[in-house]
Amino acid sequence: GAVVSQHPSRVICKSGTSVKIECRSLDFQATTMFWYRQFPKQSLMLMATSNEGSKATYEQGVEKDKFLINHASLTLSTLTVTSAHPEDSSFYICSARARYRDILAKNIQYFGAGTRLSVL
């Protein structure tokens, strides 16, 4: 099956520092990658949609200058949390949509294992 690798799995940082999270599709090319945020016992909230070679599309209420997204290639997207503060502490998950010919496979999002960010 399609594998999405997300790194790091856990990061603890001091307030004011920036943190970069990587999301890689290992065995397929991903036309689109998505970034989600999840608070404890809550649902996944879509933050932004990232297409290779173009600017990310952010959901309403998500600060684009705070959460920088770069989709450098068809297999890599990065999320940088700039000047992180304790309220940014959360579980961040990426997903990738496969670029296959089969329409069903194209509709499926494959998720990374998530990154738990703790800002002190």
Partner 1 sequence: QQPVQSPQAVILREGEDAVINCSSSKALYSVHWYRQKHGEAPVFLMILLKGGEQKGHDKISASFNEKKQQSSLYLTASQLSYSGTYFCGTEDMAGTYKYIFGTGTRLKVLA
Binding site for partner 1 (CB under 8 A): 6, 32, 34, 36, 41-46, 49, 91, 93, 97, 104, 106-114, 116
CB of 75 to partner 1, least distance (A): 17
Radius of gyration of the chain (CA): 14
B/e letters for 86-119, b = 16+ CB within 10 Å, e = fewer, are eebbbbbbbbbbbeeeeeeeeeebbbbebbebeb
Contact predicate 4/94, CB 8 Å: yes
Cβ proximity to partner 1, 31 vs 82, nearer residue: 31
Cβ proximity to partner 1, 9 vs 17, nearer residue: 9
Distance from C-alpha of 117 to C-alpha of 88, rounded to nearest angstrom? 8
Cβ proximity to partner 1, 14 vs 104, nearer residue: 104
Distance from C-alpha of 22 to C-alpha of 113, rounded to nearest angstrom? 11
Cβ proximity to partner 1, 10 vs 83, nearer residue: 10
CB of 89 to partner 1, least distance (A): 15
CB of 49 to partner 1, least distance (A): 6
